[in-house]
Structure 1
């Protein structure tokens, strides 16, 4: 398998050597695009199998050194989940430190929250990521912490908006669970647009 893995060449600076290899300035470390590195890894996992691909093979395919890879990603699980973090941060920014004027206004904000990522994420890479997390317990367990934290943020937002505890906590956990389930169901389908799945899912709890 190792011989079949070809370099994706995602280093910067730009390639300008006649042999097609990346130009490297002596004494300066390569600039690495973490999103491109994660996408490279996901495609390898999809083609060869998550368990079969090593971090060393990811580094080789990405055209970077192993130490450089580990500076950004401590494990294969980090490579799978890491690409979803910017969207999670964007969604979190909608809620942290804010409140709705009342519960219904807060629920409407959460309906918008559920759709965050539908325009930002690469559909191919997102599908691979979600299918992998659905297939491997290790990855599902690793991602639980990310989802639980987002559920807590939703709960606190609802509480600031006038929803009493423990209802706010129940809703926070339910909202993030159905959003994740909707993304997984979309990933397992052949549909191009995840929006209907997300709208149906959030309608179950709000």
Structure 2
């Protein structure tokens, strides 16, 4: 969970095949759009910056922007659908008899960027994610979607009977874990990248379990 930041890409454990030229090119353009957007966000604020302004400053069309990002919010938060699916897959891959807390903690580790990347960029994304009012609705939507994805496996690990829809207790468990994850990222950003988000997450979970 070290250096987890909104907008960061995730890795798949054991992935060693080098990226293709097309993938490297895509990553380079993705990084350039992100850097351009962050500059505009710093100059004008997240709320006041439009997709058209980002596209124009990056030298691409509006259509090309949406080839890389579903929305301005996704530029900051990342592809929440793909990230949620990656966490779910990691959770279900954990040993069947592993308890719920260590299982979800391990699953969250897929959110670690594949490399350290640009620390200043990661910090800027995390701060925007925390401060921009319009992102709060996106954050709530992400949490609700991830509850649906993760609750079924957590429900089984909690020893709760299977149900057609996730048990409220399992959803509450996932909501608490996500809140601890958000707190860890916020603490990491507030410390200018010096705090250990894993330690903050573990301390938050320890309080919840007390």
Distance 1:191 1:201, change over 3 A: same
2:126 pairs with 110, 123, 130, which one?
130
Between structure 1 and structure 2, the one with the greater Rg is: 1
Q: Is the 8 A contact 2:40 2:49 kept in 1?
A: yes
Change (3 A) 1:149 1:74: closer
Residue 149 in 1 paired to residue 145 in 2?
Answer: yes
Which residue is 1:197 aligned to? 200
Q: Which has the higher contact order (CA 8 A, sep 6+)?
A: 2
Query: How far apart are 1:94 and its partner, in Å?
Result: 0.6
1:20-75 alpha-carbon deviations (Å, 9 max, x no partner): xxxxxxxxxx9674454234323431343213322222113322122211344353
Cα 1:154–1:31 change in 2 (3 A) is: closer
Q: CA RMSD in A?
A: 3.1
Q: 1:172 Cα shift?
A: 1.3
- Unaligned stretches of 5+ residues in structure 2: 1-20, 161-166
C-alpha distance 156-57 of structure 1, shift in aligned 2 (>3 A): same
Q: In the alignment, is the contact (CA less than 8 A) between 1:37 and 1:62 conserved in 2? A: yes
Q: Which residue of 2 aligns with 1:57?
A: 53
Shift of 1:141: 0.9
2:75 aligned residue: 79
Match of 1:25 in 2: none
Give the TM-score, by structure 1 length.
0.69
Q: Contact between 1:118 and 1:195, CA under 8 Å: does it hold in 2? A: no
Q: 2 CA distance for matches of 1:81 and 1:119?
A: 13
Which structure dedicates a bigger proportion of its chain to helix? 2
Q: In 2 relative to 1, CA 140–200 (structure 1 residues): closer, same or farther, beyond 3 Å?
A: same
Q: Distance in 1 between matches of 2:193 and 2:111?
A: 16
Q: Distance in 2 between matches of 1:35 and 1:149?
A: 26
**Alpha carbons of 1:159 and 1:142: their partners in 2 closer, same or farther (altered >3 Å)?**
same
TM-score, normalised with respect to structure 2: 0.68
* Structure 2 residue 187 is matched with structure 1 residue 185: yes
Question: 2: CA distance between counterparts of 1:38 and 1:156?
Answer: 34
